[in-house]
């Protein structure tokens, strides 16, 4: 049992080390992009479909410049234009080849972006494609010492590998043409709606399970006081060993250790490191899925006896027959997901394992009172803001966003996330939410329902409905901010913590329960023979 507790503490730190909501932004940030007349465009992603010798070929993604005219938003309005190579390649001087409303393909470097665009426009180009010197996108801006900029052709940056493909086709005498357009993202994508439902539903389910367990434990405790038998005492100790209660010190250390894990993820991010994270995630997912399935099946009379019959297994101790029967399925499910995690529908398996893991963590790790919950959420609040926003000052990029995207790993993000593909977004990608955005506030929400049940409070007179509503609103505001920021990752706890924690503290103060909630965390039970019933 102690081994299991240790494993879950490690898993808990791993999953809490990531807390982010995102819509899959793929543009890298640029911190020196002032707006001024002629150089005030919003940065937009640009679709670049290509045709080679009249046959439709690949579609690439570029990023529009701060300067130049805005691009069409619909493909049907975009013009098909021939592409020519610049001579010289950097386009820092007048091209030797004659242009006739062609798109000129140039290399980055040796002069400013605006100079290249001005020269291309003067040479009768209809647009300029600039090949970056890296395999990523970069935001093109105006120089600080440049006067007001007047450029009449669009400028688009392409990644190095895409530029190399187009350049190779042109050098092989192929006729290459492109369209340039920048479709708008929908205001709300249905993926965000489903992700919100998944997060809220997971906390509701985990909270009721936790409250039911606490009620059963309270009834057993009352029987223990009444019977005072050694067997009952032994059962009570065993049950308490299955739980991990967070102390005040642990709440602070949890976030500190999570920060250390996040920095380690950032520094060691690579293909092999993500593979290690996949293995750890599978271990946690197997345990979580197994726990959930065993508990659900035990509710049926047919499986109840198998769930209550145990056999001793080396290293693992006493294991129920039902657990042994379910374990192979859980292992097979996790292994199949790990092997096929790069296929388009693998997010379903990741979400199933992730939800099971989150629910199980919320059963094993508990907040004993509102004081610990307040410290935990407050530390997580500062942690989220620091690693999404403040970390840019030290690392020149958002550590949390880089880790969530799995940059430099060749993988589509790390597995400690719930994700759903953006169904109606022309740019594709995923809407994601970190496990920490569900688990950390979920610990406090589950605590509120346990208190309500132990205090025999009706649903409307309790704290759970208010806490759950506050969490849902906080997460909703997160997605509103996410869309206002055009898909850039947002620290969800920045919005969730003030809503959830503020609601509970204010309501407890108004009702006069703050002292009990803050210190004891559960109401006093005057008589050991009082039977606790769930609130309706």
Residues annotated as part of the active site:
384, 437
Q: How far is CA 206 from CA 200, 213, 424, 439, in A?
A: 10, 11, 31, 10
33 closest CA partner among 140, 153, 152: 140
- Dihedral sign (CA 148, 153, 159, 164): negative
Interatomic CA distance for residues 78 and 80, integer angstroms:
7
129, 86 Cβ separation under 8 angstroms: no
SS3 of residue 497 by DSSP = helix
433 closest CA partner among 45, 11, 24, 29: 24
Interatomic CA distance for residues 130 and 132, integer angstroms:
6
Q: What is the DSSP string of 351-407?
A: HHHHHHHHHHHHHHEE--SHHHHHHHHHHHHHHHHIIIIIHHHHHSS-HHHHHHHTT
Q: Hey, how many other C-beta atoms are within 10 angstroms of the C-beta on 23?
A: 24
Phi/psi at 251 (5° precision): -60, -40
CA-atom Rg of the chain in angstroms: 28
489, 429 Cβ separation under 8 angstroms: no
How big is the CA angle at 314 (ends 313 and 319), to the nearest 5 degrees? 25
């Amino acid at each position: 049992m102690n081994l299991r507790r240790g494993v879950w503490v490690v898993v808990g730190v791993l999953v809490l080390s990531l807390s982010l909501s995102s819509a899959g932004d793929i543009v890298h940030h640029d911190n020196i992009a002032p707006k001024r007349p002629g150089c005030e465009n919003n940065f937009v992603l640009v679709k670049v479909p290509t045709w080679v010798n009249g046959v439709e070929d690949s579609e690439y993604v570029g990023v529009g410049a701060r300067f130049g005219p805005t691009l069409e938003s619909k493909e049907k309005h975009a013009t098909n234009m021939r592409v020519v190579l610049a001579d010289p390649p950097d386009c820092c001087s007048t091209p030797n080849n004659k242009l006739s409303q062609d798109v000129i393909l140039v290399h980055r470097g040796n002069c400013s972006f605006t100079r290249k665009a001005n020269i291309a426009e003067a040479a009768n180009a209809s647009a300029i494609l600039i090949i970056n010197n890296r395999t990523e996108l970069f935001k093109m801006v105006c120089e600080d010492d440049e006067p007001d900029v007047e450029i009449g052709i669009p400028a688009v940056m392409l990644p190095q590998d895409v530029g190399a493909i187009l350049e190779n086709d042109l050098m092989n005498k192929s006729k290459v043409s492109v369209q340039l357009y920048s479709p708008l993202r929908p205001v709300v994508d249905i993926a965000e709606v489903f992700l919100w439902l998944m997060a809220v539903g997971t906390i509701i389910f985990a909270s009721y399970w936790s409250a039911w367990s606490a009620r059963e434990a309270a009834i057993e405790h009352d029987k223990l006081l009444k019977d005072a038998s050694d067997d009952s005492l032994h059962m009570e100790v065993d049950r308490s060993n299955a739980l991990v209660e967070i102390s005040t010190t642990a709440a602070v250390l949890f976030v500190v250790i999570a920060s250390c894990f996040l920095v380690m993820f950032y520094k060691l991010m690579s293909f092999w490191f993500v593979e290690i994270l996949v293995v750890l995630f599978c271990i946690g997912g197997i345990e979580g899925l197994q726990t959930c399935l065993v508990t659900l099946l035990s509710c049926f009379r047919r499986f109840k006896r198998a769930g209550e019959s145990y056999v001793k297994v080396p290293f693992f101790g006493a294991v129920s027959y039902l657990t042994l029967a379910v374990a192979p399925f859980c292992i097979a499910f996790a292994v199949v997901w790990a092997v096929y995690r790069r296929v388009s529908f693998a997010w379903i398996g990741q979400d199933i394992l992730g939800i099971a893991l989150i629910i199980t963590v919320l059963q094993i790790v508990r907040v004993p009172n509102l004081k610990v919950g307040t410290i935990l959420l407050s530390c997580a609040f500062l942690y989220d803001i620091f690693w999404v926003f403040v970390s840019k000052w030290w690392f020149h990029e958002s550590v949390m966003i880089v880790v969530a995207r799995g940059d430099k790993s060749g993988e589509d993000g790390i597995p400690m996330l719930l994700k759903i593909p953006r169904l109606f977004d022309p740019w594709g990608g995923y809407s994601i939410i970190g496990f920490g955005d569900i688990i950390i506030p979920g610990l406090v929400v589950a605590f509120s329902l346990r208190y309500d049940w132990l205090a025999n409070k009706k649903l409307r007179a309790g704290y759970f409905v208010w806490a759950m509503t506050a969490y849902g609103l906080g997460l909703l505001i997160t997605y509103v901010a996410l869309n206002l920021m055009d898909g850039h990752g947002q620290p969800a706890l920045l919005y969730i913590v003030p809503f959830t924690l503020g609601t509970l503290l204010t309501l407890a103060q108004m009702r006069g329960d703050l002292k009990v909630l803050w210190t004891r965390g559960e109401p006093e039970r005057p008589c050991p023979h009082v039977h606790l019933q769930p609130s309706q």
